[in-house]
Amino acid sequence: MKKPVIAIDGYSSTGKSSISKIIAEKLGIVHLDTGALYRGITWFALQNCTDKDGNISLPKLYDSFPVISLEFKRDEDELVLYVNQINISKEIRTAEVSDHVSFIAKQKEVRDFLLETQRSIARNGGVIMDGRDIGTVVLPSADFKFFLTASIEERTRRRYEELLALGLEAHIDQVRENLIERDRIDSEREISPLKKADDAIEIDNTNLSKSQTIESILYHLKKIN
Ligand code: C5P
């Protein structure tokens, strides 16, 4: 039997990636965190494609597309993103990348560049992919679609603790502002905005633990099957 294709979209810091990773392990399928791709391109742009004032130059970034290699390698039980053979899993979580990623992600050229990478991973089924436009644009015919939400207070607390656990510097007010600003840009952009697919199941996990959210998703998967 073909393994399922599951799309998980939602607001920043609703736990999409960590929840998807555990569900992937339980179902024996692959997990792809598409936010890592947008963060990876943003990291690359900040390193290599700035103008004389230090701002990201989009033309320089687009000219670099042919030399950017994006690879997911298996590291223990995780798929880890390598940009041009460099493991940047920690670098892509910094405040600098978080502050620029939604600007990069709203560019049509960037979204077009990353679309095929995402779709090719789902081609043979057996994947849970999390992001903002997976159920609406990347995999519109996914077998299952979920949309996660939670209050801004709860999401701020989770992201702040996640950054501290990674050993990164974090200020709670800045974390909150960044989440609000990214959600605004992601929801208002013209191309592939963050929005719930009509056929997605919405789960507000403000008052749910990670394992309760996972249980809820698994319950829906069984019910639909
Ligand atoms: O998931 P994460 O918070 O790491 O995503 C970082 C940013 O990447 C989002 O705020 C959004 O701007 C962009 N993104 C996107 N489409 C996706 C996944 C992420 O635009 N499918």
User: Using a 6 Å cutoff on CB, does residue 186 contact ligand 1?
Assistant: yes
Do 83 and 44 contact (CB within 8 A), yes or no? Answer: yes
CATH architecture for segment(s) 5-34+91-224: 3-Layer(aba) Sandwich (3.40)
Q: Which pLDDT belongs to residue 27?
A: 93
> Residue 80: how many CA atoms within 13 Å on its side-chain side?
14
User: Using a 6 Å cutoff on CB, does residue 145 contact ligand 1?
Assistant: no
Q: Where are the beta strands (DSSP E) in 22-69?
A: 30-33
Report pLDDT digits (tens) over 11-35: 999 999 999 999 999 999 999 999 9
Residue 222 has pLDDT above 80, yes or no: yes
19, 101, 159: residue to mutate for ligand 1 pocket, most atoms within 8 A of CB: 101
DSSP 190-214: SSS-S---TTPEEEE-TT--HHHHH
Q: How far is 137 from 105, CA to CA, in rounded Å?
A: 14
Mean per-residue pLDDT, 121-131:
93
Report pLDDT digits (tens) over 89-112: 989 999 899 999 999 999 999 999
Which two tokens mark 191?
A: 């191309």
Nearest residue (by CA) to ligand 1, atom 21, is 131
What is this structure's pTM?
Answer: 0.94
